[in-house]
A and B are shown apart, each in its own frame.
Chain A
Amino acid sequence: MTSLRIFFIGGLTSYRALFNWLTPWILVPSFLVAPLFQILLFAYIGRTTRLESDEFYVIGNAIQYAAIPCLFAMGNTIGGERFQHTLPLVLATPAGRLPLFIGRSLPVIVNGFLVAAFALVAGGALLGVHVPLSAVAPLVLVVLITSFSCTGLGLVNAALGLRVRETAVLSNILFGILLVFCGVNVPLSSLPDWMSTISEGLPLTHGIAAARRLADGAGLGSVAGLIGAELLIGCIYAIAGYLLLRLMEVESRRRGTLEIA
């Protein structure tokens, strides 16, 4: 019962604290305006190079933008607490670490989902991309699972935040890696083999591929493998992130570097 309380109430409180500084003045330009311009930028480069259709860039960039809230918000669970000088207080509690950290990731998944969904709808409307009505529900599922897998990577990012002082820089670098490697704007077949091999182990790759197929009219069953792979990758990152958090926490306590990284 205590764990459930920490999971839900702790997660919600942490998220509300995040939104205390994440005001609409930050939220609107960062989560609503920026993804639309990223979509437009690459859609227009795509029109210049005649590489792929507008639909390809709308889906790729909209879903990839879920990485911004997922990476930054998770990074801030550590970086933000340290900035507010509450990190030692949080980690000094006897609360179970699993509900403590996983609870904080639940609202982040919802946030990532909403950002990607808005970008998909608004980006699609701006560029005149039409998705079959039958694909909407499966797309919601894919975007949700992709947000989960990105949050898994975000958990790893949060753990590294116990060693790296600049979590925002780290989040930006991870975002850039996902942009280049995951077939967001360049089909995996056009990337060097070693890059497409790496992309198989990253969040987003399978989710974006599944979303593109669904938008082209494929049924949910035909992309089940891709969705399953995305879910599995998300679970692996979430577990790795949790274990890394525990390890880094112990290390930070031993070195006395909780507040200084």
Chain B
Amino acid sequence: MKALRLIGIGWVFQLKMLSRSEFDGLLGVLWPLFFATTAFFMFRTTHDSRALLYAALGSSVMGIWSSTSVAASSALQRERWYGTLELVVGTPAHFSLVLIPITLAMATVGIYSMAATLLWGWALFGIGVHIVHPLLFVLAVPVTILAIGLLGFLLSVTVVRYRTAWALGNALEYPVWLVCGFLVPLSLFPGWVRPISWALAPTWGVRAIRQAALGGSPFWPMAACVGLAALYGVVGALLVNTVLRSARRSASLSLT
């Protein structure tokens, strides 16, 4: 119960902090829109309204990953810059319970971008979002955010020794957009890419959102999302222990 309370309060607190910068907010919405607009122009040439809706739904999830990848990979570094890393590591709560709300909030902020992309597609390209299973759609979105947030958590822990991890997070933006099938069907890729796609929760998240919107059964993709999110959480928590032990032993916690 205490853990859930900590995650909940931390998530709200981090969400408020992330909403403070108008510039960051503007970029968070605009950046995926540039790519979505390009994709809409490209898909428009197919003269297939279903293909456009497919692109709109995929593009809308791009923003959730964008808001997570760069920010999550530098989450620990940012705590170092703020001078708060030692304080949060020193609390009796497990450090992963402090870090998870941060990356969850980063993914949640992406919902602005998701809404903006769908609105943009509707207003400028006439892409009507007719949702076949509205309730399941409403469920698929937070499940996707949860899974992407926990992938961000795993990423933030994995790259903790990489001093300029933000650059890696930046470089991971396109690969995930590509291999998770946001805009391209997975069947187009070579066979060796597919296992990578299946191991990435955004693949199942965008599939769940699409199946909820276009018709189909989003339950299995949602279950895969939840399962992968749990796996990311467990692996990340174990890694946190190792990383913190190492940093404490070498007294390198505050070193940038």
Interface 0/1 of A154-192, CB less than 8 Å to B? 000000000001100100110111011000111000110
The smallest beta-carbon distance between A179 and chain B, in angstroms, is 5
Given A25-B163, A44-B188, A38 and B174 contact (CB-CB distance below 8 Å): yes
Set of chain B residues within 8 Å of A45, measured between Cβ atoms: 39, 42-43, 183-184
Tell yes or no: B185 within 8 A of A by CB.
yes
A166 to B25, CA, bound (A): 12
The yes or no answer to A48 lying at the interface (CB within 8 A) is: yes
Once the chains are docked, how many angstroms separate the CA of A179 from the CA of B33? 11
How far in angstroms is the closest Cβ of chain A from B79? 20
Interface SS of chain A? helix
Given A34-B174, A38-B174, A29 contacting B168 (CB threshold 8 A): yes
Per-residue A-contact encoding for B174-207, CB less than 8 Å = 1, 0 else? 1101100001110011000000000000000000
Query: Given the complex, which residues of B lie within 8 Å of A191, measured CB to CB?
Result: 41
The reply to whether B175 and A186 form a contact with Cβ atoms under 8 Å apart is: no
A90 at the binding interface (Cβ < 8 Å)? no
- A127 nearest CB across to chain B (Å): 12
Q: Which of B33, B37, B51, B183 contacts A41 (CB 8 A)?
A: B183
B17 at interface, CB cutoff 8 A = no
Once the chains bind, are A179 and B23 in contact (CB under 8 Å)? no
Of all chain A residues, the one with the shortest Cβ separation from B165 is: A25
Contact in complex: B168, A173 (CB < 8 Å): no
Asked if residues A185 and B42 are in contact (CB atoms below 8 Å), the reply is yes
Using a Cβ–Cβ cut-off of 8 Å, how many residues does chain A contribute to the interface with B? 35
Whether the Cβ atoms of B42 and A46 lie closer than 8 Å is: yes
CA distance A33 to B170 in the complex (A): 10
Size bracket, chain B contacts: 35 or more
Asked if residues B27 and A29 are in contact (CB atoms below 8 Å), the reply is: no
A95 interface residue per 8 A CB criterion: no
The answer, among A26, A34, A48, A173, for a CB contact under 8 Å with B164, is: A26
> Do residues B171 and A29 form an inter-chain contact, with CB atoms below 8 A?
yes
- With both chains docked as a complex, state the minimum distance between the C-beta of B69 and any C-beta of chain A, in angstroms: 12
A37-85 interface with B by 8 A CB criterion: 37-38, 40-42, 44-51
Given A51-B42, A169-B23, A169-B24, residue A41 in contact with residue B178 (CB < 8 A): yes
* Complex alpha-carbon distance, A42 and B167, angstroms: 21
A30 within 8 A of B: yes
**Chain A positions 13 through 36: 1 when the CB is less than 8 Å from some CB of chain B, otherwise 0:** 000000000010110011001100
Check B43–A49 contact: CB distance below 8 A.
yes
Q: Please give me the residue from chain B that is nearest to A27 by CB atom.
A: B167
Q: A45 to B44, alpha carbons, bound, how many Å?
A: 12
Q: How far is the CB of B46 from chain A (nearest CB, A)?
A: 5
A191 to B125, CA, bound (A): 12
B162 interface residue, CB < 8 Å from A? yes
Closest residue of chain A to B26, judged by CB? A169
**For the complex, is B38 an interface residue (Cβ under 8 Å from A)?**
yes
A sample of 19 cross-chain residue pairs with beta-carbon separation below 8 angstroms, ordered by A number, consists of A29-B170, A41-B174, A41-B184, A44-B189, A45-B43, A48-B183, A48-B185, A49-B51, A165-B23, A169-B24, A169-B27, A172-B31, A176-B30, A179-B35, A184-B38, A185-B41, A186-B42, A190-B44, A190-B45
Closest 7 CB pairs of A and B: A176-B34, A29-B171, A37-B174, A26-B167, A166-B23, A186-B41, A44-B184
Q: A25-B167, A172-B31 are in contact. List 18 more A-B contacts (CB 8 A).
A: A26-B164, A26-B167, A29-B167, A29-B168, A37-B174, A40-B174, A41-B174, A48-B183, A49-B51, A172-B30, A173-B30, A175-B34, A179-B34, A179-B38, A180-B38, A185-B38, A186-B38, A190-B45
